[in-house]
């Protein structure tokens, strides 16, 4: 019997030949080669879906294994993203049951949005600095000086 590589990968990681149809969350997750770690991209995209209401409180997310297989990334990378989301209070991980969107207040959603924006901006600036040959420590010092000038 001959399998294509993708099918073989799915069988090896899910231990089944029949996968459920792609979840609406899985179909929207996209990874980019932009210098931002994969777990951060996953975390931010799920936070955005929570913030926009695409993921409702109490809604079950795809399993970590489903995400890893769908995106062809390591399971530990997805676990890192889910753990971060739990730490932030956006998800509740229930052993043996799955991962669910937490009930969020308006202020929590706003805080997530601000944290997400800060992370995306910082990651983008860091990636551009690396491309330009600027060391992260030098960038941090320059940013600290700018903040000090703004808030004497």
> Is 12 a residue whose pLDDT tops 70?
no
Q: At 18, is the pLDDT very low, low, confident or very high (cuts 50, 70, 90)? A: very low
> What's the pLDDT score for residue 72?
92
The answer on pLDDT for 5 being more than 80 is no
Task: Compute the mean pLDDT over every residue in the chain, rounded to the nearest whole number.
Answer: 82
Instruction: Write phi, then psi, for 32 (nearest 5 degrees).
Output: -120, 155
CATH placement of domain 5-150? 1.10.10.10
Judge contact between 81 and 43, C-beta under 8 A. yes
Contact 72, 13 (CB under 8 A): no
The CB density around residue 2, as the number of other CB atoms within 10 Å, is 5
Query: How many CA atoms are closer than 13 Å to the CA of 37, on its beta-carbon side?
Result: 12
Measured CA distances, 7 to 15, 17, 22 (Å): 11, 8, 14
- Supply the pTM of this predicted model: 0.62
Residue 120 sits at φ, ψ, to 5 deg, of -65, -45
Residue 89: the pLDDT is 84
CA angle at residue 82 from 84 to 71, to 5 degrees? 125
Q: Please, are residues 29 and 67 in contact by the beta-carbon 8 Å criterion?
A: yes
Q: Where are the beta strands (DSSP E) in the chain?
A: 91-94, 98-101
pLDDT digits (tens, 9 = 90+) for 84-129: 899 888 888 888 888 999 887 656 767 777 877 788 788 888 888 8
* The pLDDT value given to residue 106: 58
């Amino acid at each position: 019997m001959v399998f294509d590589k993708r099918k073989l990968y799915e069988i090896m990681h899910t231990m089944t030949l029949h996968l459920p149809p792609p979840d609406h969350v899985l179909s929207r997750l996209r990874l980019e080669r932009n210098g931002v770690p994969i777990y951060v991209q996953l975390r931010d995209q799920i936070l955005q879906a929570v913030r926009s209401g695409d993921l409702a409180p109490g809604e079950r997310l795809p399993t970590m294994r489903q995400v890893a297989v769908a995106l062809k990334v390591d399971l530990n990378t997805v676990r890192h993203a889910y753990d971060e989301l739990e730490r932030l209070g956006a998800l509740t991980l229930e052993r043996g049951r799955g991962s669910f969107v937490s009930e969020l207040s308006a202020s929590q959603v706003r805080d997530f949005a601000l944290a997400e924006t800060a992370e995306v901006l910082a990651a983008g600036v860091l990636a551009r600095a690396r491309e330009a040959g600027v060391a992260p420590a030098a960038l941090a010092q320059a940013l600290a000086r700018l903040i000090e000038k703004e808030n004497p």
